[in-house]
Structures are given as C-alpha cells and as structure tokens.
C-alpha cells in the first residue's frame, strides 16, 4: 500500500476568504452603517429645511425682526435696539394713531446707505439668514416712526401751548416724546389723504419725518401699502426688553374725521 501523501497547511491565496459566512456578515454590517449614516443626514436635512421654511413663513406673514439704526425714536427706541414687528398690520389688523410702524421709504426720506461688505461668502450667508428671518432686517430701506394721523385726519401744529392737534383736539404727547423735545419746531397744517399716514419720530428735533418730506414723492405722507407692520416689542438688548404698547389714551378725545 502506497504511503499517503502528508497533509500540509495550504496558504490562503490573496482575495480568498477562509469563511464565506463571516464575509457576508461583515458586508451586511457595513451596508447597515452606511444606511444609518445616510438616514441621519437625510433627517437632519429635512429638519433644517423645515426650520428655514417655517422661519421664512413666520417672517413673511406673522413677525419680523428689525434693527434700529438711528436716534429718531428716542427714548422709546434707541440706536442698536432690535424690535419685533407684527406683519398682520395693515393686511389683517388696522393701523391706529399712536402705533409705531415700520415702513419702506416712500422715496427720498433716506440717504443712500452703503451696505457692509462681509465678503462673498459672508454676504451670501447674511442675505440668506436675513431672508428667512434668522437675522434682523437692516433698516437700510425702511424707517420706523409713530403714527399721528390716519386717512382723513387734519393734523396741525402748533397751538398756543405748542401742541400738535388732530381734528381740532390738542394732544398731550409727554407719554412718548423724548423729554426736553418740543412737539414740533415747525408749524404745519395737513389733511391726510386716503390710503396714507402722517408719521413723526418721538425725538422730534432729530427726526426726518412727514414734516420734512413734503417735497418728496407722496408729499410727506406714507402710503399704507408701504407699511411693513407695527412694532410691538423690544427684544434686544435684554436689559431693554419690553412691550411697545399703543398710548391709546393720548388720542382718546380725538373725533373721527
């Protein structure tokens, strides 16, 4: 009987798997990890996009933040304040005398403003975040003033005591006019046209408002269609956070036109 050949260990050739089941198990685990990773990225993208869309909808139809760049509304609002503005006015709710409104420049009220350059990437990020409402809108093309006259009102200044009158009734504006300011240093007498507003800043001697824009488009009046909304709260800085309430009692005695 011939001697049997000795059994020797054979080397595993490159690419050869000693255990096919182990190879399949490892492949399945890798695919599961990739699937979980893609699922996480997909869910994160959905959440981010949904949040941006929701923010844009809120900013477009409900509430928008604005930055105060000047002293024209002191002491109610000071430079650097951030305010929240209700977009329900004037589309759903009416504008009232005493409201603090944000509106687009009717034409010629503001000097040209050179935007801050953050670089191509920074500008793009700033524009996107402002568009969706994550950053406050710069008031480069907007103004913020207080409504003194609504359509049909006769607004005049000044009576013997230096007060502004609306429809023949003098109003006491100490509630909001900056201490030390006169109600107006110039005389005027206007009737507010339909679809327009007559507005003034609370810092009367430092406000380019309806009184000083009679030679510009609209004759110094603000078209209702230019109104973005009414400011209802100061939210930044935190130590100035407060609600901006309409001083309705100031105009309580004013008759309708």
Asked if residue 90 has a cis previous peptide bond (ω within 30° of 0), the answer is yes
Q: Which two tokens stand for residue 166?
A: 């609306």
Q: What is the pLDDT of residue 171?
A: 97
Chain-centre distance of CA 113, in angstroms? 18
pLDDT in tens, 61-93: 578 888 898 899 999 999 999 999 998 888 889
- CA of 112: how far to CAs of 23, 67, 109, 127, 141, in Å? 69, 17, 10, 19, 9
How large is the angle between the packed helices 20-61 and 119-132, nearest 10 degrees? 70
pLDDT in tens, 200-245: 999 999 999 999 999 898 999 999 999 999 999 999 999 999 999 9
Residue 231 covered by a domain: yes
Pairwise CA distance, residues 43 & 56, whole Å = 20
**Residue 165's closest CA among 184, 180, 179, 181?**
184
CATH code at position 105: 2.10.109.10
Sign of the C-alpha dihedral computed for residues 213, 216, 217 and 218 taken in this order: positive
Residue 17 covered by a domain: no
Full residue range of the structural domain in which residue 67 is found: 53-114+138-251
160 or 60, higher pLDDT: 160
Asked if residue 158 has a cis previous peptide bond (ω within 30° of 0), the answer is yes
Q: What is the pLDDT of residue 39?
A: 66
Residue 6 covered by a domain: no
Residue 29 covered by a domain: no
3-state secondary structure of 44: helix
pTM: 0.72
- Mean pLDDT for 172-188 is 95
Catalytic residues: 72, 145
Pairwise CA distance, residues 201 & 204, whole Å = 6
Residue 208 covered by a domain: yes
Q: Report how many domains make up the chain.
A: 1
Mean pLDDT of the residues in the chain: 80
Q: What is the pLDDT of residue 253?
A: 94
């Amino acid at each position: 009987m011939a001697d049997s050949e000795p059994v020797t260990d054979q080397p595993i050739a490159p690419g050869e798997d000693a255990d096919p089941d182990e190879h399949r198990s490892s492949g399945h685990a890798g695919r599961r990890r990739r699937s979980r990773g893609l699922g996480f990225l997909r869910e994160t993208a959905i959440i981010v996009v949904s949040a941006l869309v929701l923010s844009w909808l809120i900013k477009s139809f409900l509430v928008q933040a604005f930055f105060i760049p000047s002293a024209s509304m002191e002491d109610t609002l000071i430079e650097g304040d951030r305010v929240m503005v209700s977009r329900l006015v004037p589309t759903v709710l009416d504008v009232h005398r005493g409201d603090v409104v944000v509106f687009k420049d009717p034409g010629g009220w503001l000097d040209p403003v050179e935007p801050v350059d953050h670089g191509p990437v920074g500008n793009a990020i700033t524009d996107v975040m402002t568009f969706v409402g994550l950053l406050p809108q710069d008031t480069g093309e907007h103004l913020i003033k207080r409504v003194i006259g609504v359509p049909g009102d006769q607004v005049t200044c000044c009576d013997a005591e230096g007060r502004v009158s609306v429809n023949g009734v003098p109003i006491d504006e100490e509630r909001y006019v900056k201490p030390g300011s006169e109600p107006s240093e110039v005389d005027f007498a206007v009737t507010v046209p339909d679809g327009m507003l007559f507005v003034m800043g609370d810092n009367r001697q430092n406000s380019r408002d309806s009184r000083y824009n009679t030679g510009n488009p609209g004759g110094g009046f603000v078209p209702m269609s230019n109104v973005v909304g009414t400011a209802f709260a100061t939210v930044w800085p935190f130590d100035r956070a407060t609600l901006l309430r309409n001083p309705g009692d100031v105009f309580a005695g004013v008759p309708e036109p």
